Amino acid sequence: MLLYLHANKLTRLEKLFSSIKIQVNEKLFIKDPDSSQLGKKIVEHSIYLIDEIGFEEFTFKKLGVRIGSPESTIYRYFENKHMLLVYITSWYWTWLEYRLVFSTNNISSPEERLKRAIAIVTEPVKQDSNYSHINEVKLNRIIISESLKAYFTKEVDEANKEGFYMVYKSIVQRISEMVLDISPKFKHPHTLISTVVEGAHQQKYFSEHLPSLTDVGNNDDKIVSFFTNLVFSMLKNG
Amino acid sequence: MLLYLHANKLTRLEKLFSSIKIQVNEKLFIKDPDSSQLGKKIVEHSIYLIDEIGFEEFTFKKLGVRIGSPESTIYRYFENKHMLLVYITSWYWTWLEYRLVFSTNNISSPEERLKRAIAIVTEPVKQDSNYSHINEVKLNRIIISESLKAYFTKEVDEANKEGFYMVYKSIVQRISEMVLDISPKFKHPHTLISTVVEGAHQQKYFSEHLPSLTDVGNNDDKIVSFFTNLVFSMLKNG
Amino acid sequence: MLLYLHANKLTRLEKLFSSIKIQVNEKLFIKDPDSSQLGKKIVEHSIYLIDEIGFEEFTFKKLGVRIGSPESTIYRYFENKHMLLVYITSWYWTWLEYRLVFSTNNISSPEERLKRAIAIVTEPVKQDSNYSHINEVKLNRIIISESLKAYFTKEVDEANKEGFYMVYKSIVQRISEMVLDISPKFKHPHTLISTVVEGAHQQKYFSEHLPSLTDVGNNDDKIVSFFTNLVFSMLKNG
Amino acid sequence: MLLYLHANKLTRLEKLFSSIKIQVNEKLFIKDPDSSQLGKKIVEHSIYLIDEIGFEEFTFKKLGVRIGSPESTIYRYFENKHMLLVYITSWYWTWLEYRLVFSTNNISSPEERLKRAIAIVTEPVKQDSNYSHINEVKLNRIIISESLKAYFTKEVDEANKEGFYMVYKSIVQRISEMVLDISPKFKHPHTLISTVVEGAHQQKYFSEHLPSLTDVGNNDDKIVSFFTNLVFSMLKNG
DNA sequence: CATGAATGAGGCTTCATTCAT
DNA sequence: GATGAATGAAGCCTCATTCAT
């Protein structure tokens, strides 16, 4: 999962990147959905459907109707709907980590590097043409509204939770290290960064559904600048 | 729902407070659960049960078994399990608002006032003996893990969502005004405060379940001081 | 469950008997099927259906279609189909125990008493008009073909197995004591009697389905006399 | 299937016996499981699995997981799980018939011959090293708990039932003839012997699971002597 | 010959709710 | 006002099987 990237490899990396396969923990599926057309279709439409009706209302039966296959087919890929959610969530964070690594790799200025990192995790998500069967925008909306909550269910056992959170932790860890590169004595880098990552999600959600809890309106740039400002203020005073 | 309290009314208020009934939006229930023993029992045990098994697994049937009454009885009080969740959540925020108002009311220093406000929304919740049928500690855990998410479901219609969020918004609004009392030109008080309120919840959750995402360990005081620090850093630099 | 019957009470007992309710262990059902018309209908038709298609093929769905009620209704009475089988089996053995006690109670000759007991457990079952919703003949066929086997399933927990077998054991125990009344030094009364009870069942089954394993043809009297002979031979030589 | 063995052929027979292949009715399988490693593995592990979880819970899917092959592979050998059960049951009885024939063949005393025959069908089963892929002890446990019942299912058609019972009948027939060798006028040799064979099974089962229905404790010898005694008592008095 | 993919049908169960008392 | 009975709909999942490779 960890990527060691070097500046002089950038051009080759760019090519590589466009064809990279997002590798999700094998324990999260029974059969790799990336290994067949049907598998991709399942993932693709699950994102559409969960975005539309919410995870609680989402069932394999309904997804089956969407893709014209029986539920039983979907069970060949995922143990149950919770594991499917864990899968797409993991995919999302893995994809974000790739982008984070790619975006910050060859930046020598620690401040610039941290700014870019914050931008990656707070800016609005855009469709990534490299993964045509994944709608990252909708997926991001799912993460925002269903994310953390989903992992509480007893259906997802401890081991799987660990596996799933690994990527999330890795992102927080990477950015925390960037914070320490700037202020080695800062005491709470993980708390700061996890607050930023989750806070950005929430503000997007509030701006759409509960505007009186925010001041950002529809302007997503404000979210980036607010959280960038927040981090650098803390580093100055923390 | 909004309380306008003035300093010179404090003594009377203290008395009042100890016997105050938390008044929850009437649209959230069919029959006021506070109006009968059975109603209180329903609320009391719903908190225990949701804390134990999670909201998704929670059903009126299971609650009925707990309290020794049939499901149909619970339906006399709440339209469905979502409304019951909205009810207890509203109760929580209303209770928190009372405590917020009470704690900040007679404080003349704007900084001290804001500090107290931040403490109220970030410090660990303790059992409040005035409401013996409500376990505020467990209720707080429910808010943390089920909170926002719960209100998306189609079962809770728009009108009710409004009603429910009113108290939450009121709290954010009050503290935002305290922020503006200190820094009248600060641009994003609502964003800041909602980030703090939600962030504190998350950090508590992370410290319990995903410690590598935080630096606060088991020390809840650190959460209060981190977010206090965060707010004042922003005000200094924002 | 144990009945203490005295000879001089016989006439009264006869009256009582005709109106006696067969009392089955309460743990075997959720709601007493004897307490409602629907409950009786469920039991009545379950016996018909299991006899027709076998227990493995039997489902609450099919039973529901038979009685014109949804499966869910049946679930209000029995936890699952295994418990329903345990219920009707228990009913059968309880009913048989009543008949055993009734038939042997006032018999002073130990030999005659034992003969009557053996007859009760080996002779063909006849419809008992006191329980119009139970077809004892079909029920007996179910006991013969599904009986012991059924209790192995993991669905029926240990406690319930205990409860269920209690009546069966009680019957074997009663007849074993009659054996000891005749031959106090006989070493294996339980083995002998359980072999007789089960053996009689099997011979009936074989005579219907695998005639070359028996010599009794369609003549059920031969079964009674064979096993009576077997018991008394053993007592003479054992 | 019937074996006609004569005393003077014993030595050759002994050699033969050690390398003998238990020949099961060809209609019971699609491809002879004895003809490939995989086939033997299927049989071997089906015995383990049925013993562990019971026949009702047993599926080709679960067996496939055990042996690391897909269900579809197992379908090449057996039409369905019922036929597999019939196969292993037939194997068991065929194997028992070989042992019966072998053990009684050169015994001139009719009483001794019958005693040996009774021992074969009532004594505890021991692992037979000649058939390393068959665990006879577990197989015997399966016969005891699933046996007769299994053949009722509609899946096993009449013809197959005939085929399957042939060996069972042959065993009963052989021992019945030994009974008649001693008491030519005895009326119910088949009933007697089938009662003994099934009764011995049951007593083993009861001693393990329902001890109050037996007097044999853990002592399997008692089962042999009880049934030996039973047979000879009957012959004396019958 | 062995396998992997796919599927339709159905089993078992719970849910959320209504109605009559 | 509280309860008990009843139910239709749906959820979740496994089975047994076929087909193409």
- Any contact of B with A, at least 3 CB pairs below 8 A? yes
Nearest to B149 among A146, A215, A238 (CB): A146
Q: At a CB cut-off of 8 Å and minimum separation 6, what does B230 contact?
A: A195, A230, A234, B196
Domain count, chain C: 1
For strand F, is any atom closer than 7 Å to the CB of A83?
A: no
Q: Within 7 A of a protein CB, which nucleotides of strand E? A: 1-20
Average pLDDT across chain C, whole number: 84
Domain contains A6: no
Best A198, A225, A234 member to test B by mutation, with max B CBs in 10 Å, is: A198
CA distance C90 to C109: 30
CA distance A216 to B188: 8
* Residues of chain D falling short of pLDDT 70: 1-19, 147-164, 238
Residue A18: per-residue pLDDT: 56
Which residues on chain D place their C-beta less than 8 Å from a C-beta of chain C? Answer: 53-54, 56-57, 145-146, 148-149, 152-154, 165, 168-169, 172-173, 187-191, 194-195, 198-199, 202-203, 205-206, 210, 212-216, 222, 226, 229-230, 232-234, 236-238
Domain coverage including residue B96: 20-236
Residue B209: per-residue pLDDT: 80
Average pLDDT across chain B, whole number: 84
Domain contains A153: yes
Domain contains A4: no
Q: At a CB cut-off of 8 Å and minimum separation 6, what does A186 contact?
A: A179, A180, A192, A234, A235, A238
Residue D190: per-residue pLDDT: 96
Q: Whose structure tokens read 């409500």?
A: B134
The conformation of residue D126, written as its DSSP 8-state character, comes to: -
Best B81, B215, B228 member to test A by mutation, with max A CBs in 10 Å, is: B215
Residue C19: per-residue pLDDT: 58
Nearest to D215 among C190, C205, C212 (CB): C190
Q: Whose structure tokens read 């509203």?
A: B90
CA distance A36 to D48: 35
* Residues of chain B falling short of pLDDT 70: 1-19, 148-164, 238
C227: closest chain D residue by CA: D192
Contact B238 A238 (CB under 8 A): no
Residue B152: per-residue pLDDT: 56
Residue A121: per-residue pLDDT: 95
Which helix (H) or strand (E) segment is D81 a member of?
helix D81-104
Is the confidence at residue C27, as pLDDT, over 60? Answer: yes
* Residues of chain A falling short of pLDDT 50: 1-10
Domain contains A15: no
Shortest Cα distance, chain A CAs vs residue B209, angstroms:
10
* Domain CATH code at residue C151: 1.10.357.10
Contact C149 D154 (CB under 8 A): no
Contact C146 D149 (CB under 8 A): yes
Residue B149: per-residue pLDDT: 59
Q: How far is CA D148 from CA C209, D201, D202, in A?
A: 11, 11, 12
Contact D154 C54 (CB under 8 A): yes
Nearest to C165 among D153, D173, D210 (CB): D210
> Please, what is the Cα angle at B25 between B20 and B27, to 5 degrees?
145
> Can you give the distance from the CA of residue C13 to the C1' of nucleotide F13 in angstroms?
53
Closest to D58 measured CA to CA, from A29, C154, A72: C154
Domain contains A2: no
Nearest to B233 among A187, A226, A237 (CB): A237
Domain contains D4: no
pLDDT tens by residue, A44-66: 999 999 988 888 889 999 999 99
HSE-CB of D167 using CA atoms within 13 angstroms: 23
| Contact call for residues D159 and D27 (beta carbons, < 8 A) | yes
For strand F, is any atom closer than 7 Å to the CB of A204?
A: no
Q: A230 is written with which tokens?
A: 């927040």
Reported for A231-236, long-range contacts at CB under 8 A and 24+ positions apart, including other chains, are A231/A114, A231/A118, A231/A179, A231/A192, A231/A193, A231/A196, A232/A111, A232/B237, A233/B233, A233/B234, A233/B236, A233/B237, A233/B238, A234/A186, A234/A192, A234/B229, A234/B230, A234/B233, A235/A179, A235/A182, A235/A183, A235/A186, A236/B233, A236/B237
Subunits in contact with chain B (3 or more CB pairs closer than 8 Å):
A
pLDDT tens by residue, D103-161: 998 899 999 999 999 999 999 888 887 887 888 888 988 888 776 655 555 555 565 56
Domain contains A149: yes
For strand F, is any atom closer than 7 Å to the CB of C38?
A: yes
A209: closest chain B residue by CA: B152
CA distance between the termini of chain C: 32
Nucleotide nearest to A61 (CA to C1'): F11
> Can you give the distance from the CA of residue A161 to the C1' of nucleotide E2 in angstroms?
36
Residue B103: per-residue pLDDT: 92
C150: confidence class by pLDDT, cuts 50, 70, 90: low
Nucleotide nearest to D31 (CA to C1'): E1
Domain contains A174: yes
Cβ burial, residue B201 (10 Å; 0-12/13-18/19+): buried
Query: Chain B contacts of A210, Cβ < 8 Å?
Result: 165, 169
Query: DSSP characters for A109-149?
Result: -HHHHHHHHHHHHHSPP---TT-TT--HHHHHHHHHHHHHH
Nearest residue to E11, CA vs C1'? C59
Nearest residue to E2, CA vs C1'? D73
Q: How far is CA A135 from CA A48, A92, A125, B39, B219, in A?
A: 8, 10, 10, 46, 40
Nearest residue to E16, CA vs C1'? B80
Nearest to C212 among D169, D199, D213 (CB): D169
Radius of gyration of chain C (CA): 19
Contact D206 C194 (CB under 8 A): yes
High-pLDDT (> 70) share of chain B, %? 84
CA distance C209 to C200: 14
> Can you give the distance from the CA of residue D54 to the C1' of nucleotide F12 in angstroms?
24
B113: Cα separation from own chain's centroid: 19
